[in-house]
Amino acid sequence: MSTPATDYRFDRDQSGHSGPVTPERRDLHFLPPGDRICDWHTAGPNVTQFMNALSLLFPAGERMFIDAVRSYRDDIPDPDLKKAATAFIGQEAMHSREHIEYNQLMTDAGLPADKLDKFTWGLLDVLKRNTPRSTPLAATIALEHYTALMGDMLLRHPEQLAGSQADYERMWRWHALEEIEHKAVAYDVYEKCIGRGPRNWLERSGAMIIATGIFWPVVFSFYWQMSRADPQCRAQGLRGHLRMINFNFGKPGYLRRLMPEFLGYFKYSFHPWQQNNAHLLAELDELVDEAEAAYATRH
Ligand SMILES: [Fe+2]
Ligand SMILES: [Fe+2]
């Protein structure tokens, strides 16, 4: 991997790919154990189903990200950014592949994963077919802000996953790391190929408001349907839901604590690398070794 530069200075006017790292496609396999799909998270079955609900959005969501960046790839003027866009597409394709396998474990366990996955594909298909070419890319940079922030939170607070089943934990950590590694690529493609004036600020801000208004209701609706179908969550009753709410909004409140960085997106001068968290990527090489070793011992 590229070594994060310690003296990184934000300078997007002189370089097409304005980040301290260049993303790299890594062909890793995880396939976590199916018998833990409903209780892999250390905080219990309800938090497990919340994370599973997020996983259900990835195959269709990441396909939209890939298509949105690919549709502008030939227009990218800068060769470094073009290379980064290719790596972005490769990384999201790997994430999608691994989450499809992960999501299949939910279906195998009798959860309504197929139905919810189809709903997501349908929803994003409507968006893609009924909006101008720039809209899916604007939606992508909005949602990539979320994945980068959630990835940052997960890596800064390893206690969020500590004690969870190791293969699931490793897979989420890998996804978090690569989301940080490529967090500015779609954004830079948008700025270089579409623009960075007031109209563009309005479009990307509007896309964030609409994406937020759709994304969270979908996530929590998926969580609800998954937890209703899971006997372990049903056995927890209200206590289980409260535990999930506390995890996200109370103490520790991992989603609540994203708020200040989230709002930074609406600044006119926003750029994803203004939050320079490249030092978190230092664990990537070790994680790759761990993942390869773990997969080799099981297959
Ligand atoms: Fe991803
Ligand atoms: Fe991403």
- pLDDT tens, position by position, 217-249: 999 999 999 999 999 999 999 999 999 999 999
What's the pLDDT tens digit per position in 20-79?
Answer: 888 999 999 999 999 999 999 999 999 999 999 999 999 999 999 999 999 999 999 999
Whether pLDDT at 1 is above 80: no
Tokens (6 digits) for 38: 């409903």
Longest dimension (CA), the chain: 58
157-185: b (≥16 Cβ within 10 Å) or e? eeebbeebbebbbbbbbbbbbbbbbbbbb
235 CA to middle of ligand 1, Å? 32
* Ion ligand 2 contact residues with beta carbon within 5 A: 147, 179
Domain spans, the chain: 34-298
96 CA to middle of ligand 2, Å? 10
14 CA to middle of ligand 2, Å? 24
Angstrom distance (rounded) from CA 221 to CA 150: 19
The ligand with the least distance to the CA atom of 186 is: 2
Mean pLDDT (the chain) is 93
Model pLDDT, residue 9: 37
Tokens (6 digits) for 3: 């070594």
Which alpha helices (H) appear in the chain, and where do they start and end?
45-73, 79-108, 113-129, 134-156, 166-181, 185-193, 198-229, 231-236, 238-249, 259-263, 284-298
179 CA to middle of ligand 2, Å? 5
176 CA to middle of ligand 2, Å? 9
The ligand with the least distance to the CA atom of 175 is: 1
List Cβ neighbours of 283 (8 Å cut-off, separation of 6 or more). Answer: 155, 173, 177
**Statement: the pTM of the whole predicted model exceeds 0.85:** yes
> Any idea which of 14-18, 51-55, 251-255 has the lowest mean pLDDT?
14-18
26 CA to middle of ligand 1, Å? 12
Model pLDDT, residue 3: 40
What's the pLDDT tens digit per position in 112-156?
Answer: 999 999 999 999 999 999 999 999 999 999 999 999 999 999 999
107 CA to middle of ligand 2, Å? 24
115 CA to middle of ligand 1, Å? 21
Angstrom distance (rounded) from CA 271 to CA 145: 10
